[in-house]
Amino acid sequence: MSTTDAIEKPALPLSFLPPYVKWGLLGLIQLVLIAVPLIDRLQVQMGGQEVKLELIPIDPRDLLRGDYVIINLAISRLAADLPGADGLEEGDTVYVALEPDENGLMAAASVGKDEGTSNLVRIAGKVQSATGEEIRVDYGIDAFFLPEGEGLVIERLDRERVQLVVAVTGDGRSLPLRLLVDGKPFKSDAAF
């Protein structure tokens, strides 16, 4: 065997494909890149357990999508003495175990860095700040989009009247599904 035989031949370039096939492959790749986040959202929406969360709404506008409510979840502020809160630092990924309170709204029961094995629903978030008194957690569900002109309706309501229904999967991913006003559905953001 000579040294020239040991050199591998280069793979054929895509030049043998007709132009319409190349453009078709490029279009297919773009569609896959668009579909990946939509599939993830659909998995959370279809497979997640629904929980009701207390929130404090604020109403801004988005020029492209209309009105939206900034969601400030009550569970975003955790007491530093909550079970499992010791040693948490800014940037840590945490899982907050939720249990219903007397009004049926979910409240934080414990927090930790692992998903845990309890029967409680666990929502994943990232620690924004941790002090000796309070831990602030971002769950990545900070906006709920509404048709134009309807954001003002939510803004004017007492915060105790408004709740958010969220789907939470077994691995902690979450997705806002609908706003409740006085326990009745106001609007849904569940369609992706």
CA-to-CA separations, 74 to 42, 53, 159, 180, in angstroms, rounded: 25, 7, 11, 15
* CB-neighbour burial class of residue 105 (10 A; exposed 0-12, middle 13-18, buried 19+): middle
Confidence of residue 93 (pLDDT cuts 50, 70, 90): very high
Q: In the prediction, which pLDDT does 86 show?
A: 87
Return mean pLDDT, the chain. 79
Q: In the prediction, which pLDDT does 42 show?
A: 80
pLDDT digits (tens, 9 = 90+) for 108-164: 999 988 877 678 899 999 999 988 889 999 998 877 777 777 767 777 777 778 888
Confidence of residue 11 (pLDDT cuts 50, 70, 90): low
Asked if residue 96 has pLDDT above 70, the reply is yes
Q: In the prediction, which pLDDT does 192 show?
A: 43
Whether pTM exceeds 0.85: no
**pLDDT over 70, % of the chain:** 78
Compare 58 and 8 and report the one with higher pLDDT: 8
Confidence of residue 67 (pLDDT cuts 50, 70, 90): low
Strands, E assignment, the chain: 49-58, 61-62, 66-73, 77-79, 93-100, 106-112, 121-130, 134-138, 143-146, 162-168, 174-181, 184-188
Q: In the prediction, which pLDDT does 59 show?
A: 45
Q: Rounded CA gap, 132 and 151, in Å?
A: 36
Q: Rounded CA gap, 179 and 69, in Å?
A: 10
pLDDT digits (tens, 9 = 90+) for 38-65: 887 787 777 777 787 776 655 444 444 5
Hey, which residues does 25 pair with through a beta bridge? Answer: none
Structure token pair of residue 50: 């629904």
Confidence of residue 14 (pLDDT cuts 50, 70, 90): low
Q: In the prediction, which pLDDT does 127 show?
A: 93
pLDDT mean over 6-15 = 60
Q: Rounded CA gap, 65 and 42, in Å?
A: 20
pLDDT digits (tens, 9 = 90+) for 162-190: 888 888 988 888 888 888 888 888 765 55
Q: Rounded CA gap, 192 and 190, in Å?
A: 6
